[in-house]
Chain A
Amino acid sequence: MRRGTHARRAAGAALALALTATGCAGTGAGGNGGAVLSSSWADPQNPLEPANTNEVQGGKVLDMIFRGLKRYDPKTGKARDWLARSIETRDSRTFTVRLKDGWNFSNGEKVTARSFVDAWNYGASLRNNQKNAYFFGYIDGYDQVHPASGRQRADTLSGLRVVDDHTFTVRLNQKFSGFPDTLGYAAFAPLPRAFFTDHAAWVRKPVGNGPYTIESYTKGAQMYLKKWDGYPGPDKARNDGVTLLVYTDSNTAYTDLLAGNLDLADDIPAAQLKNVKSDLGDRYLNTPAGIIQTLAFPYYDKAWSRPGAQKVRTGLSMAINRRQITDTIFRGTRTPATDWTSPVLGAAGGYKKGLCGSACDYDPGRARELIEEGGGIPGGRLTVTYNADSGSHRQWVDAVCNSINNALGDDRACVGNPVGTFADFRDQLGGHRMTGPFRAGWQMDYPLIQNFLQPLYYTGASSNDGAWSDEEFDRLVDRANAETDPAGSVALFQRAEKVVRDHMAAIPLWYQNGNAGYSERLTHVALNPFSVPVYNEIRVG
């Protein structure tokens, strides 16, 4: 009881603090103080360190407060030099990075080669528990600072070397010609000294080198990002600031948008999609994003890895009426997939429309034949496992099952198997406990065809949850990574993708768009290929 009263008193004090904090940002919160806009947000899952943020909500903030060596063009997704003056290599293994002059952090500190090298060493080091550490896995010495088991044997990556204030070299442990293009990912952002000297304070209020600075941050409630007037880059903010408001439910955010209390809601719930045109008119965005949904299979289960099973998988793929599902459930916010990458890569980047061929066409008759030839569905019944806590997965899994049942003329051929939470779902996948296909979604980290193939289908890769393994595929990926000519590299990746197709390693379902709605106050609103609003371009009023 005593403790109860103490807690209450402490709570009161904290509340007062919280109120003052919100009071400060209050001008922006309602979306009516100057050219400040309010935007929907969800509480980031991890602390906002660049190498520790692996979901969109934290990524949104990092995208506003950091600029890296490269930046992905918000329209085309092409990686362009940003802080890098040049990134040169002769052998696709040792890269020399030269930095542009004149960049500094918002606290005045200069961005130097050391800002990058220190940040990357921090991100790779096992003791810092950074969840994106494996992004540094290509750099020489990673196995020393981040061994798969046991203690780390070094503090810094031996592959990183500072040459002078504006130059550093990166040596990789294998050839990887696409490496420079991965450097636009948030994990590779530079970090100021303050990050290392007063880490706790930095995490409370991160400081970066992007067009915005964090003015106030009330965890779990809101963040106010102010335009940084001294920002040296060419992509200065066109508004005075952004208030990110945490919403538990995207439906409420949508309601607030309609009521005029919110300027930008960037995740329109599936249930509202049928009204969105009449509610918002042309203030609704539906932009392709680098996200693909697939059904993956448990190859650790003999029933799915036996010879002939690929016929069953191809048959299942042909039993799914993708067009109908994307039109009725997702109202055009997803489009039927015809390869294993994403249209945002563009043809030059490796997207190949129709690569899947007839295997992705809806053809119930052929589907029945193929499944029969392949020996039928293992166990006589298909269970599709998914997590039911987000992303309207239930609707489409049920629809996919309906489609399969109709095609096979059997009401009980396919059933959904919901798992309560994402964590539990991941736990079951990691424990290899699947007996049938399961939901697999992939949101690209960087716009390279490599990112759509290697993490998902390479032997032992981190997102290869079905443990698919194919020597030819692995060999082609290795060759593609080593290939210095970009076009040649893409062609090799596409050959690898055809291996995925011929085995139907995973059934591609659809490409997912990013969508958003905005208020009448805003113009120049767009989503980038990562489905994140391009905040710095938005004009208010």
Chain B
Amino acid sequence: MGRHVLRRLLQMIPVFVGATLLIFLMVNVMGDPVAGLCGERACDPATAAQLRREFGLDQPVWRQYLTYMGKVFTGDFGTAFNGQPVTELMATAFPVTVRLTVVAVLFEVVVGVTLGVVTGLRRGRPVDTAVLLATLVVISVPTFVTGLLLQLLLGIKWQWIRPSVHAGGFDELIVPGLVLASVSLAYVTRLTRTSLVENRRSDHVRTAVAKGLPRRRIVTRHLLRNSLIPVVTFIGTDIGALMGGAIVTERIFNIHGVGYQLYQGILRQNSQTVVGFVTVLVLVFLVANLLVDLLYAVLDPRIRHA
């Protein structure tokens, strides 16, 4: 177990270096960021040259990358063009997005898995068909439509919620979290259902039934636990996607999280912001995947990590 974790952690190093290098190169392809800093006019050449020097943009890309990585390991993610250190931006952006992700994942787990179990156990019944149809609708409607629609209905027509998020507390993030989770939620429902249906016919469940165990125990201990493996894999990878992919949701509900900073960073070609945030997202992604791997062993006793 310990060795497995260690090996996985070591594997992260090349992934981390490769991912950051790729992002760094991609951001550099976007062109000269200084050009966009002076409004509808050309920066005067002296100031532009000095800004480039200050942000290290006058160096060759490989050296910029080395300098950047060197600084990252000391915890310095550089400075955004508005003079704020990127770590400061992260400190304000990540907590909100983490909370939003938590809300979204909770929705996925609680609602998604419950619906999956209900439909899986009542395969072919009206409930199953109804949920199936509903998930189809949710999957096919883009997030921004769901988001804007809920915002309009709940925020303006019925005045149940504030249409935009201000402080970013959990209470304000329920509707945005639901919107963010909606598509994944539908997938979780369908994954759970399929997996459950498959496992109902497996040997260990049949044995449990034959032993005369109570139905409740069969469902929770034998059936659900094993059926959750694909679901957990999905949710684990989804955490990274939710955090990085919240751009649309964060924009609609005016949440100043990771998506907002990334969007702003890309618009202003602020390479330091973009690379910094994506680097952290890469880390989150890697860690979430590691946790998922470790969870397999807990869920399915047949899986053992050497």
Contacts and interface: CB of A to CB of B under 8 A. Distances in A.
A134 B44 contact: yes
A7 B90 contact: yes
Interface string A396-430: 00000000000000000000000011111111111
Contacts of A425: 36
A428 B31 CA distance: 9
Nearest to A455: B41
B254 interface: yes
Contact of B269 (A13, A248, A423): A423
A427 B36 contact: yes
Contact of B90 (A11, A149, A261): A11
B87 A10 contact: yes
Contact of A146 (B38, B44, B251, B267): B44
Nearest to A246: B256
A44 interface: yes
B260 A426 contact: no
Interface stretch (A89-97, A249-257, A342-350, A501-509): A249-257
Given A7-B280, A455-B41, A462-B41, A252 B163 contact: yes
A441 B94 CA distance: 36
Interface in B18-71: 30-33, 35-47, 49-51, 54
Interface in A296-322: none
Interface in A39-80: 43-47, 54-55
Contacts of A11: 90-91, 94-95
A248 B260 contact: yes
B162 A261 contact: yes
A261 B95 contact: no
B208 interface: no
Contacts of A426: 35-36, 38, 42
Nearest to B154: A259
Contacts of B82: 43-47, 219
B111 interface: no
Given A261-B162, A421-B36, A426-B35, A126 B256 contact: no
Contacts of A201: none
B40 A427 contact: no
B92 A252 contact: no
Nearest to B253: A252
A15 B94 CA distance: 9
Interface residues of B, number: 63
A15 B283 contact: no
A430 B151 CA distance: 41
Contacts of B212: none
B61 to A, nearest CB: 16
Contacts of B87: 7, 10
Contacts of A252: 163-164, 251-254
Contacts of B92: 14-15, 18, 218-221
Contacts of B264: 43, 248
B14 interface: no
Contacts of B94: 7-8, 11
Nearest to A252: B254
Nearest to A203: B83
Contact of B164 (A3, A7, A220, A255): A255
Contacts of A126: 46-47, 50
B91 A15 contact: yes
A127 B49 CA distance: 11
Interface string A256-270: 101101000000000
B152 interface: yes
Contacts of A149: 45-46, 49
Given A10-B91, A255-B163, A1 B9 contact: yes
Nearest to B252: A252
Given A149-B45, A255-B151, A430-B32, 11 more contacts: A7-B90, A18-B92, A46-B82, A149-B46, A149-B49, A255-B155, A421-B30, A421-B269, A422-B36, A423-B37, A443-B40
7 tightest Cβ-Cβ pairs between the two chains A and B: A423-B36, A14-B91, A427-B35, A463-B41, A426-B35, A15-B95, A423-B269
Interface of A: 1, 3-4, 6-8, 10-15, 18-19, 22, 26, 29-30, 43-47, 54-55, 126-127, 129-131, 133-134, 146-149, 203, 218-221, 245-249, 252-253, 255-256, 258-259, 261, 389, 420-430, 440-443, 455, 462-463, 465
9 contacts: A1-B9, A3-B75, A54-B38, A129-B51, A129-B54, A221-B92, A248-B260, A255-B155, A440-B40
